[in-house]
């Protein structure tokens, strides 16, 4: 199966530490998205890449968050100086170009801040 | 502002009952796309259907059907003869974004519990 792959599945860390998540999209998909989902809510958009270019960032993405997609393939999302409020499920999705193309999601990385 | 409202937080039915999940959206765009996703207990969001704003034909796929009405800004989802495996959280989403309809705006989701 060559769906969207995210690592790690779970991350537990102490407040103030830095964390990095990885997303490997479906290979022919040039669009990649990051979302955050908290308990009982729908996913919220964080950022979007087309190939290696980061084209849109949500206001939710504070200065402590940075995302990269250096070669237009996998992407990383880093959170520096984590805070309690960062605890959430971080979802990655990818799609083919075009507005009507569905986004295909990975299983997510669940972040817990102690 | 773009917004998706799923007023039903939780629905509980007995197997074989029909159930309709409501979705109301707001957008100022004339061209947009609507989606439904399923999130089973395992957590992965599974794409179910996509609809563009110019196609108001209802769609049926097996036990699933979708009713899109622009006049009421609604895109409702009906499961006929529900099964236990249908138990999940269902999300309605709106696709918007300048020049390419990139990000999805999700509703809060409706948790469906189907009991045997």
- Nearest chain B residue to A40 by CA distance is B108
3-class secondary structure for B57-110?
CCEEECCEEEEEEHHHCEEEEEECCCCHHHCEEEEEEEEECCCCCCEEEECCCE
Do residues A52 and A70 lie in contact, with contact meaning Cβ atoms separated by under 8 Å? Answer: yes
Mean pLDDT over A91-113 rounds to: 90
- CA dihedral sign, ordered A40, B5, A33, B79: positive
Do residues A81 and A64 lie in contact, with contact meaning Cβ atoms separated by under 8 Å? Answer: yes
pLDDT tops 90 at residue A61: no
Cα-based distances in Å from A8 to A17, A34, A107, A110: 16, 15, 10, 8
Determine the pLDDT at residue B98: 55
To the nearest whole angstrom, how far is the Cα of A60 from the nearest Cα of chain B? 14
CA B24/CA A28 separation, integer angstroms: 33
Determine the pLDDT at residue A88: 97
- A99 pLDDT band (50/70/90 cuts)? low
Cα-based distances in Å from A80 to A77, A84, A85, B55, B81: 10, 12, 13, 44, 48
Among B37, B43, B52, the residue with its CB nearest the CB of A100 is: B52
B105–A102 CB contact, under 8 Å: no
Q: Which residues 57-86 in chain A show a CB within 8 A of chain B?
A: 58
Determine the pLDDT at residue B100: 58
To the nearest whole angstrom, how far is the Cα of A36 from the nearest Cα of chain B? 11
> pLDDT higher for A7 or B53?
A7
Mutation site, B49, B102, B107, interface A, largest A CB count within 10 A: B102
What mean pLDDT, rounded, does chain A reach? 93
B35, with CB counted inside 10 A (0-12, 13-18, 19+), is buried
Which residues are CB-contacts of A103 (< 8 A; sequence separation ≥ 6)? Answer: A31, A33, A93, A94, A95, B47, B104
pLDDT tens-digit profile, chain B (116 residues): 789 999 999 999 999 999 999 999 999 888 888 999 999 988 899 999 988 888 888 888 899 999 999 999 999 999 999 999 999 999 999 987 555 557 899 999 999 999 99
Determine the pLDDT at residue B99: 56
Q: What is the pLDDT of residues A15-37, one digit of tens each?
A: 999 999 999 999 989 999 999 99
Cα-based distances in Å from B47 to A66, B38, B44: 27, 7, 10
Cα-based distances in Å from A104 to A15, B44, B81, B111: 31, 9, 27, 21
Determine the pLDDT at residue B53: 86
Do residues B59 and B85 lie in contact, with contact meaning Cβ atoms separated by under 8 Å? Answer: no
B102–A33 CB contact, under 8 Å: yes
A108–B102 CB contact, under 8 Å: no
B49 three-class SS: strand
- Using an 8 Å CB-CB cutoff, list chain A residues near B106: 42-44
């Amino acid at each position: 199966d060559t769906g969207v792959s995210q690592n790690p599945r779970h991350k537990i860390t102490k407040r103030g530490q830095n964390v990095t998540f990885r997303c490997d999209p479906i290979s022919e998909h040039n669009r990649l998205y990051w979302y955050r989902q908290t308990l009982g809510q729908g996913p919220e958009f964080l950022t979007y890449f087309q190939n290696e270019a980061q084209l849109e960032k949500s206001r939710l993405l504070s200065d402590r968050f940075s995302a990269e997609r250096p070669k237009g393939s996998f992407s990383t999302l880093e959170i520096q100086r984590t805070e309690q409020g960062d605890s959430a499920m971080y979802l990655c999705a990818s799609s083919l170009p075009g507005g009507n193309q569905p986004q295909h999601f990975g299983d997510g990385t669940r972040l817990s801040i102690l | 502002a773009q917004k998706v409202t799923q007023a039903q937080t939780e629905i509980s039915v007995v197997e074989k009952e029909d159930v309709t999940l409501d979705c109301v959206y707001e957008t100022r765009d004339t061209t947009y796309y609507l989606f439904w996703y399923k999130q089973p207990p395992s957590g992965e969001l599974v794409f179910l259907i996509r609809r563009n704003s110019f196609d108001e034909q209802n769609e049926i796929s097996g036990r699933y059907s979708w009713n899109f009405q622009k006049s009421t800004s609604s895109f409702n989802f009906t499961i006929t003869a529900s099964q236990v495996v249908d138990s999940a959280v269902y999300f309605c989403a709106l696709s918007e974004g300048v020049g390419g309809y990139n990000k999805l705006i999700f509703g809060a989701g409706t948790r469906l519990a189907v009991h045997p």
